[in-house]
Amino acid sequence: MKNFQNYINGKWMDSPSGKTHENRNPANWDDLIGLFPLSDKSDVDRAVAAAKEAFETWRLVPAPHRGEIIRKAGDLMTARKEEIAKEMTREMGKVLEETRGDVQEGIDTAYYAAGEGRRMFGVTAPSELANKFNMAVRVPVGVCGMITPWNFPMAIPTWKIFPALVAGNTVVFKPAEDTPKTATTLVEILAEAGVPHGVLNLVHGSGTEVGARIVDHPDVNLISFTGSTEVGLKIAEICGRMGKRLSLEMGGKNAQIVMDDANLDLALEGVLWGAFGTTGQRCTATSRLIVHAAVYDKFLSMLTKKVMTLRVGNGLESNVDVGPLVSETQLNTVSQYVEIGKKEGATVSTGGARETGNGRSKGWFFQPTVLSGVTPTMRVAREEIFGPVLSVIKITSLEEAIRVANNTTYGLSSSIYTQNINNAYVAMRDIKAGITYVNAPTIGAEAHMPFGGVKGTGNGHREGGWTAFEIFTEWKTIYVDYSGKLQRAQIDNES
C-alpha cells in the first residue's frame, strides 16, 4: 500500500487535513491500491494561487512550444500504455481491451492538441476605413478548473487538460475519488514532459469539499465538468451567478434504432458493444434499443441468447467481456432500477441480478441484463441507469422510432441501423442528439471530432477536436489604424 499526494506548484505534498480515503479494486474489494488525500479548501486555494501566478508566464510561451510539451506527453503515454491500462483496470474495473483504448484516446488527443498549437488561427477582415487593419485572435482564458469522472479516467482529463494547456491556460485538476491513481499517473507524465511548475496542479478529494471550492473560487476563470446532470446544474447556478465560463458534459439515455430492413447480425454486434461495453458505464452507452415490430421477436431472441454468453469477471482476465461496476453504490443503483422496471411491467429476458459465482463475491459484478416489453413512459426508458441494463422498446415506423428516441431529457448519442438511405438521412436530421451513428453503435467517439450533446446533456459546448479550443480561448479583436488621423468607424464611412 502507498500513500499518494497532491501536486501543487511543482511539488508532491500531503494535505494539511491529514485525512485520506481508500482506493480499492472494484473486482476485488480486498485489493487496496492506496490511500489518497481528502483535501480541504486550503489545498485548493494553494493550487489556484500557483496556477494564477504561473499563468502570467505560461501564456507568453509560444503556442507551438506548448504543443511540443503535450506531444512529449503523448510519447510518454505511448511508452507506458500497457502499464497504465492495467493500472486503470485494477482501479475502475473495465476490461483491459477497453482501458488500452482509454489510454490510446489520450494519446490521440495529445498528438491532435499538439498540432493545434500551430493552428490556433485568428481572422483578418477588411476595414470599412482607409489605412486601417482589422484582426481577431485567440487568447487564453486563465485558470481552468477541471472536474472529471471515473469511467474514462485518462481520456476525459486529456480532452480537457491538453487543449487548455496548449491554448495557454493553467489548470487545477480534481479527478473522481474512484480513480485517483490514473489521474496521478497523468500528472506525473505531464510533469516529466516539461509542464512548468504551477501550470498544472492536482488536488484529490471529494466533490463537496474540493470540487465545490474550485467552482466558487473567485480566481478560477473557467470550469469544465463531466458528470451527473444533478451536480452539473448546481455548478451552472454558481458559475452563472459569478459570471464564469462553463463547459458541462452530463448524462445520456442513448437509443439504438433497428429498422425492419437492418442487417440484424451487424445490429446485434453494435448493441452488445454499445450496451455492455464498459459495463454500461458510459454517458454514450446504449441504454435503449428501439426495434421495428417486424423484426422485434427475432431480434430479441438473438439478443437474449448472445447476452447470456457474455462472460463477467475481473477485467484483467483475458476471457472476460464485462467487468464490475465501479462501486457498491453503483451496484445498488443498478439493482434498484431493475426492480423499478419489473414493477412497471417490463420483463427480464436475461440477467437482472448481482453476479457472485466463481469467486466474484468480493467485487461489484452485475449480470448483463435485457428488459423487454418496455414502453417509452417507463422510468427505465427515460432515466440514466449507468450500468449493464438494456431496455427494449417495440415500434412500428421510422417516425415512431424517432419520436421515442427523442422522448428523454437527454440528447447525447444515437444510432440507427437501416439499409434505406432515405431513412438514414431522416434520422440524421430529426434525432435530437449531439451525435448520430448510422449502422454503428452509440459509442465510438474519435478524438479529432466534436463530442457533446443537446438538451439536458450539456450547455452547448463541445469537447474533442478543434471545438475544445473554442472553450479554452477568448476572442480578442484588434484594430490598427495607420492613417495618422482620427477615423470614426460607422460614422466616417457614411459620408
Catalytic residue positions, numbered: 249, 283
Grid cell for residue 329: 453504490
Pairing mode, if any, of strands 143-147 and 170-174? parallel
Grid cell for residue 146: 477541471
Minimal CA–CA distance to 154: which of 193, 204, 103?
103
Grid cell for residue 290: 428501439
Per-residue burial over 57-84, b if 16 or more Cβ lie within 10 Å, else e, is ebbeeebeebbbbbbbbbebbeeebeeb
What is the rounded distance in angstroms from the CA atom of residue 347 to the CA atom of residue 370?
8
What is the rounded distance in angstroms from the CA atom of residue 131 to the CA atom of residue 492?
13
Grid cell for residue 295: 423484426
Rg (CA), the chain: 24
Minimal CA–CA distance to 388: which of 408, 368, 360, 412?
368
